[in-house]
Structure 1
Amino acid sequence: MSQVETQAVGYELIETPSANNKVAALWMQNPPVNALSKSVRVGLIEHLNAAIADESVDVIVISSKQNLFSGGADISEFSGGDLEPNLPVVLDVIENSPKPVVAVLNGPAFGGGLEVALSCHYRVTFASNKVGLPEVNLGILPGAGGTQRLPRLAGVQQALDMIVSGRPVAAKKLPGVFDVVVDSPETLLSSALAFCEKVVAEGSKVRKTCDVQIDVSTAPKELFAQYRKGLATQARGFFAPERCIQAVEASVELPFAEGLVREGELFMECMRSKEARAQQHFFFAERAASHVKDFDKETPVRDIKTVGIIGAGTMGGGIAMNFANAGIPVIMLELKQEALDKGLALIRKNYENSAKKGKLTAEQVEDRMALLTGSTEYAALSDVDLVIEAVFEKMSVKQEVFKALDAVCKPGAILASNTSTLDIDEIGEATKRPEDVIGLHFFSPANVMKLLEVVKTSKTSPEVIKTAMKMAKKINKVAVLVGVCFGFVGNRMIEGYGREANRMMLEGGTPEHIDKVIYDFGLPMGPFTMGDMAGQDIGAFVRESRREFIKHDPTYCILADKLVEQGRVGLKAGKGVYLYEAGNRKPIPDPSVLELAKQVAADLGVAQRDISDQEIIERIIFPMINEGALILEEGIAAKSSDIDVIYVYGYGFPVYRGGPMQYADEIGLKTVYDAMCKYRDELGEHGKNWFEPAPLLKKLAEQGKRFADL
């Protein structure tokens, strides 16, 4: 056995079990995810050529020294890295090797990593290993032959599913792709070497994927038409999915070489699209959110072994499920046993529904429920490491809770509030340990939504901040660290969204028109539908708590307030801005709401008129961006990309626009600034009240810069 090491790819000569054959093993070793960086691509070509030239080598194996085969392309190279030799060149060398090349997938293979394996002549892995082509999530498509090779091995339908969805698939479900699938990774190498011996014994056949003929009867025109139809709603607004379909179509309709050319053309179309820029921005934004300046490597982290949750309602129960899912015991506190029993029963029902859908086994349901216990006494929380209150959104109530927690919780326990708007500094003042107080703002439904706003107060210790950020990962949340202000980042920005929608209805816009424009822009639903689903009374409660800040504007959400006064609180009442039929969530326009708007507008002297789609977008989306600029100036958010993560994961802002701040950067901050000035000057008192551009927006627009430049 001999071994040669380079920085990114190792070379080792190994004998097969019978010692009759020599295998050249190329080990990719580019931590942390074996990205196919330039050094890996160069190393693969060099060692492939060396193995081909070495007469003693019978078979070439490509595998990995990391815990995964390869995570794919080095995304950082997309913005100006040295791409030569590019990946297709490497795969061409592999596929055209005169000696058999066997990919031994010792762990997951994604994107370019799977494309490397597809270009090999044989593939070996273990049953539960996951492989996939997730490029669509970056707004692009597999650009190194993946759209041409995967249909030849996996079949056209399977390839479409994998490429268009980007979802990984277990190797055991891909019999056409893998030649050997062993039960466990422990036997992988010995099985792979035995297979290499078999390949030599059978004549060292080189089996090129490009030579495989697709059975066109398995991919009639109707298949693609049906696929597009089924994808219409799911892929709305995205650019890449349709190009993925076109690339797979090319694998059926064109010879391999021409199919590769077509794939390359479609890849470049995607790369040049604003959607790809947005999705790649978001990819990095999500990862950057965990990099904060409030702690360092030396900052200790507290152990979170047991969690207390105050409130067993919808939110408290959802929060509890996150910890139970991660194997962390939870003690739930309610003042009345009836409320506690009801909350635990609802959690069980949620888990059992998941089991019915095949997402959990009956045993897993019981295991998770066993982690959840309840109490009606604060003393039960004396030994928890973290306690999260999820009680009524009122300062006096929350302060009483925190006083009680301060009295019973052990030293070092983290005291967290799930408040969505209230001043956590003020909540912390109710305790003798404000350095241990932090905000953990979960989004509803808390067991589903990925976002967690971690809200630091002026006194929260670095240790508590670091613990909260690490804990978020453990419960599978994307944490974004923010500061204290009304509504923090997400709810502070959304305030203008609802305000302008209500104001435009007063000015003559219809709810269904405004909702349609915002839905077509890419959000899951428009502002009026959202208000009805959440409950118009929730918004009214928040407005009432802020009355002193908005009393200068007599038109402020006045229609929403009047609807609530009439009992029209939304879906739960069968009527809000829209009407709803029993058991049906579909909004039905109600002419009486427009009559009310007309009457109130006349009383307030607001002229009604037609409102264009463009004005709806500018007046609903641009004030959010402007508020984001103020948030950045105030240091409530550390970077604009953090705001984007909050809005994509917390509010359904379309990822193909990258978030509100990336969207502003894409269309140009001068465009946003000019529109803000226009509405400030054209909308009278309303414009003066709400459309004054943020100083940071003005400054960046004048300098021709972006939020991303900060």
Structure 2
Amino acid sequence: MTTTVDVVRGTENQNVAIITLKNPPVNALALSLLRSFRENVQSAQDDDAIDAIVLRGENGIFSGGFDIAHLGKTTRGEKTENVSDFNEILTRLVENGKKPCVAAISNLALGGGLEVSMACAARVATRGAKLGLPELKLGVIPGFGGTQRLPRLVGLEKSLEMMLQSKEITSEEGARLGLVDEVVEDDGKSGNDRAVVEAAVRVAKRIANGEKQRQFSLTRTDKLPRDAKQTMGIMAVAEGKAKKIKAVLPHASYCVEAVKVGLEKGSAEGLRKESEMFQKAVKSPAAKGLVHFFFASRATASVPGITDQKLRPSEVKSVGVVGGGLMGSGIATACLLSGMEVVLKEIKPEFLQAGIQRIEANIGSMVKKGKMKPEKAKAIVGRVRGTLDDRDFANVDMVIEAVIENLDLKRKIFSTLESIVKPSCILSTNTSTISIAKCASEMRNPERLIGAHFFSPAHVMQLFEIIRVDQTPPQILVDTLAFSKKIKKTPVVVGNCTGFCVNRVFFPYTMSATVLVDLGCDPYAIDRVISMFGMPMGPFRLADLVGMEVGVHVGKNFIEDFPERVYESPLIPSLLDAKRLGEKTKSGFYSYDDRRKASPDMDAIAPFIENARKNRKVPLPGHPEQLGFSAQDIVEMIFFPVVNEACRVLDEGVAVKAADVDVASVLGMGFPPFRGGILHWADQMGAKKIYARLTEFGKKYGGLYEPCAYLTNCAHQGKTIAEGPNRARL
């Protein structure tokens, strides 16, 4: 974590110091690097033999931004240095130093990396380099002058869009906007950034000898609106967008406030406000949650006792997919997009043709959105081969079964495939609910089968549940983890049980919502509260999206396996009986137009609600119309049972660690990432509070709410859920 200085000697006293950022893999701006950077820039500025300075990054990457590890310490309340104190490096030494500085950007300059480059007099970048200020994704704001320099370099409206949306742009767009002075062809991917450095040296020399005007970002006004009314209009729109999410994500408003102060009082005051707002943001619950999720999602591939064996993974180059339905075609698409060969198997020619067409449509949508060129799409689709014969899987590296949830069918498939595929082939099932052991029960070597649970749509959703049994060989698990990395998914390794991790943990979610309806709550009010909490949609809108028949089918598994802690409301089954299946029939809890826009339809569902209240299977206290629930009550009654089930998943060893459950909850069920995940949020609430409330709910409403032993002991022992209770006292 350092910087080094090389000097390019030239004629006529045109000597350029090249300062290299070194902190692999992305040259993050750690405090030790920033200290070294300050020393070397100061030295170059003081050296009379140096005429200009070029900044570059080691190994073909300029910088991925500020060191997130330091940010993590700050959000956890650990005593750390104020990173804004390093702003003077950029203002005093880089922007206003005697010698002009030029940034040689290869591959990417994000966050603090881009902020460093914006303090320079010019920026030269490789073609396709990614530029952006994504700090808001981590619950903070730019802290190295980004809120002041970006508006002055690309314009007010574009800068607010880039910051508030964490939007990345390419160097080509940066050149059009004025952020980049020159784009060079060197792609930098080989780690050789010679071309961009040479170009930056030329630009630096031209600035030093007066051939090119030196620009000072903080004093520029040419890109800012000249009309006060226009400025007010742009800021009003930005403030409106920020206020919509201010209740739970205040940092958007902090960012806008820093920009506003800079416009009204000048960049010096703007920098002071930015520092103040950065410190405020970094201490917020949202930053704590987002930073926790950032680290948790990058640690899921580490499995104690498995990945520490240092086994060498086998590369999956070809995949066989059994079933060409929506899930199978999505899985095939994900594999094709990652450069693999795919063999798609169906039982009838017309089914196979439909599966291929779905794959073509998936790839084609990327062309329509401008994300892929037609010729590339054609080449990708050309790597899929259809078949009706299992024997065409003989040489593939992995087989993923994606047929309907029928145990007998899955058993038959794997007993057949086991004798066809090569010994090193990974055999996997995409089942979402059926036991892996049951699927493998007719195999000669059942330990070969592993769960590979994609979430729909498989080529879009990031989460990938890997389900192992006690006998799963470490090599198969390591190979499957490597496969997940290749297809750019976030893996979560879990044990074998009903629902695995995501579906198991969240089965109380909709059940609790129906309890509330049976107690007199308006389902649309429940959905509004849960949406305001941060979920993409409420439980009843989700039920419509999934489909009533799917919800009832999946629910039966939990009713059979966990009868002591379920709540069986007649509400959803009665909608199923009435063929109100949800979006697919344009009617469920909501009604839908041709564009699938949902509209509340209380007149239609009121009879079903009334019937459910009259015929509920578990007696509930009080008259429904006399009970009242606050928004907080609704949140607790719906999510505390989810926390309770997550504790059971940890206690049983289904999940490796609490952070894995957090990642699964965010990526699999849409739990708001700014809350850090279901168990991170629970620990902010406190095990004692959750235990007390569940005990209260359990006495009134039954087993769905009764706290489990793990949670009970965490509460009694004063432990967090993440660290767990003392096992000896369980």
SS in 2 for 1:459: coil
The CA distance in 2 between the partners of 1:352 and 1:403, in whole Å, is 36
- In the TM superposition, residue 286 of structure 1 has moved relative to its aligned partner by 0.7
- In the TM superposition, residue 523 of structure 1 has moved relative to its aligned partner by 0.7
Q: How does 1:260-299 map to 2 (within 5 A)?
A: 260-293=271-304, 294-296=306-308, 298-299=310-311
The CA distance in 1 between the partners of 2:480 and 2:6, in whole Å, is 44
The CA distance in 2 between the partners of 1:597 and 1:664, in whole Å, is 31
SS in 2 for 1:455: strand
Counterpart check, 1:257 vs 2:268 = yes
Assess if the C-alpha contact under 8 Å between 1:100 and 1:205 holds in 2. Answer: no
Counterpart check, 1:75 vs 2:68 = yes
Q: Please list the CA deviations of residues 32-62 of structure 1 after superposition, one character each: whole Å capped at 9, or x if unmatched.
A: 2211112211111111222122221111222
Counterpart check, 1:152 vs 2:136 = no
Q: After alignment, is 474-483 or 542-551 more displaced? A: 542-551
C-alpha distance 557-696 of structure 1, shift in aligned 2 (>3 A): same
Which residue of 2 is the match for residue 24 of structure 1? 17
SS in 2 for 1:184: coil
Assess if the C-alpha contact under 8 Å between 2:143 and 2:274 holds in 1. Answer: yes
The CA distance in 2 between the partners of 1:223 and 1:465, in whole Å, is 52
Assess if the C-alpha contact under 8 Å between 1:100 and 1:204 holds in 2. Answer: no
Which residue of 1 is the match for residue 225 of structure 2? 216
Which residue of 2 is the match for residue 9 of structure 1? 3
Q: Which runs of 5+ in 2 are unaligned?
A: 188-193, 725-730
Q: How does 1:344-359 map to 2 (within 5 A)?
A: 344-359=356-371
Assess if the C-alpha contact under 8 Å between 1:579 and 1:590 holds in 2. Answer: no
- In the TM superposition, residue 94 of structure 1 has moved relative to its aligned partner by 2.0
Of residues 493, 496, 509 in structure 2, which corresponds to 1:484?
A: 496
Assess if the C-alpha contact under 8 Å between 1:510 and 1:594 holds in 2. Answer: no
The CA distance in 1 between the partners of 2:668 and 2:455, in whole Å, is 7
Normalised to the residue count of structure 1, the TM-score between the two structures is 0.94
Which residue of 1 is the match for residue 337 of structure 2? 325
Which residue of 1 is the match for residue 727 of structure 2? none
Q: Aligned letter for 1:692?
A: E
The CA distance in 2 between the partners of 1:344 and 1:419, in whole Å, is 21
The CA distance in 1 between the partners of 2:80 and 2:289, in whole Å, is 22
SS in 2 for 1:166: coil
The CA distance in 1 between the partners of 2:502 and 2:319, in whole Å, is 26
Q: Aligned letter for 1:422?
A: I
Of residues 25, 31, 44 in structure 2, which corresponds to 1:38?
A: 31
- What do you get for the CA RMSD once the two structures are aligned? 2.2
Q: Aligned letter for 2:226?
A: S
Assess if the C-alpha contact under 8 Å between 1:28 and 1:66 holds in 2. Answer: no
How many residues of Structure 1 are paired with residues of Structure 2 in the alignment? 699
Which residue of 2 is the match for residue 699 of structure 1? 713
Counterpart check, 1:665 vs 2:683 = yes
- In the TM superposition, residue 618 of structure 1 has moved relative to its aligned partner by 1.0
C-alpha distance 71-584 of structure 1, shift in aligned 2 (>3 A): closer
- In the TM superposition, residue 421 of structure 1 has moved relative to its aligned partner by 0.9
Q: How does 1:459-608 map to 2 (within 5 A)?
A: 459-549=471-561, 556-604=568-616, 605-606=619-620, 607-608=623-624
The CA distance in 2 between the partners of 1:71 and 1:580, in whole Å, is 44
Assess if the C-alpha contact under 8 Å between 1:428 and 1:434 holds in 2. Answer: yes
Q: Please list the CA deviations of residues 524-572 of structure 1 after superposition, one character each: whole Å capped at 9, or x if unmatched.
A: 1111111111110011122334553466689513221122122222221
Assess if the C-alpha contact under 8 Å between 1:98 and 1:206 holds in 2. Answer: no
Q: Please list the CA deviations of residues 561-614 of structure 1 after superposition, one character each: whole Å capped at 9, or x if unmatched.
A: 122122222221232233334554313323353333333433445442334122
- In the TM superposition, residue 350 of structure 1 has moved relative to its aligned partner by 2.6
C-alpha distance 84-240 of structure 1, shift in aligned 2 (>3 A): closer
Assess if the C-alpha contact under 8 Å between 2:428 and 2:451 holds in 1. Answer: yes
Assess if the C-alpha contact under 8 Å between 1:124 and 1:192 holds in 2. Answer: yes
The CA distance in 1 between the partners of 2:370 and 2:360, in whole Å, is 15
Which residue of 2 is the match for residue 4 of structure 1? none
- In the TM superposition, residue 414 of structure 1 has moved relative to its aligned partner by 0.5
The CA distance in 2 between the partners of 1:454 and 1:583, in whole Å, is 35
Which residue of 2 is the match for residue 3 of structure 1? none
Q: Aligned letter for 1:619?
A: M
Normalised to the residue count of structure 2, the TM-score between the two structures is 0.91
- In the TM superposition, residue 130 of structure 1 has moved relative to its aligned partner by 1.3
C-alpha distance 255-656 of structure 1, shift in aligned 2 (>3 A): same
Of residues 696, 701, 704 in structure 2, which corresponds to 1:678?
A: 696
The CA distance in 2 between the partners of 1:663 and 1:554, in whole Å, is 23
C-alpha distance 261-401 of structure 1, shift in aligned 2 (>3 A): same
SS in 1 for 2:365: helix
- In the TM superposition, residue 666 of structure 1 has moved relative to its aligned partner by 1.6
The CA distance in 2 between the partners of 1:180 and 1:549, in whole Å, is 64
Counterpart check, 1:632 vs 2:650 = yes
Which residue of 1 is the match for residue 191 of structure 2? none
Counterpart check, 1:179 vs 2:188 = no
The CA distance in 2 between the partners of 1:24 and 1:552, in whole Å, is 72
Q: After alignment, is 58-67 or 311-320 more displaced? A: 58-67
C-alpha distance 318-622 of structure 1, shift in aligned 2 (>3 A): same
Q: Aligned letter for 2:140?
A: I
C-alpha distance 600-13 of structure 1, shift in aligned 2 (>3 A): closer
Q: How does 1:344-423 map to 2 (within 5 A)?
A: 344-423=356-435
Assess if the C-alpha contact under 8 Å between 1:99 and 1:204 holds in 2. Answer: no
SS in 2 for 1:267: helix
- In the TM superposition, residue 624 of structure 1 has moved relative to its aligned partner by 0.5
The CA distance in 1 between the partners of 2:281 and 2:352, in whole Å, is 52
Q: Please list the CA deviations of residues 320-352 of structure 1 after superposition, one character each: whole Å capped at 9, or x if unmatched.
A: 000010110110111111111011112212322
Assess if the C-alpha contact under 8 Å between 2:558 and 2:566 holds in 1. Answer: no
Assess if the C-alpha contact under 8 Å between 1:13 and 1:24 holds in 2. Answer: yes
C-alpha distance 434-41 of structure 1, shift in aligned 2 (>3 A): same
The CA distance in 1 between the partners of 2:615 and 2:407, in whole Å, is 35
The CA distance in 1 between the partners of 2:375 and 2:610, in whole Å, is 58
Q: After alignment, is 545-554 or 606-615 more displaced? A: 545-554
Q: Which runs of 5+ in 1 are unaligned?
A: 1-6
Assess if the C-alpha contact under 8 Å between 2:16 and 2:205 holds in 1. Answer: no
The CA distance in 2 between the partners of 1:49 and 1:171, in whole Å, is 29
Q: After alignment, is 72-81 or 327-336 more displaced? A: 72-81
Q: Please list the CA deviations of residues 452-501 of structure 1 after superposition, one character each: whole Å capped at 9, or x if unmatched.
A: 01111111111111111111111111111111111011000111001111
Q: Aligned letter for 1:696?
A: Y
The CA distance in 2 between the partners of 1:372 and 1:708, in whole Å, is 44
- In the TM superposition, residue 692 of structure 1 has moved relative to its aligned partner by 1.6
C-alpha distance 83-649 of structure 1, shift in aligned 2 (>3 A): same
C-alpha distance 233-318 of structure 1, shift in aligned 2 (>3 A): farther
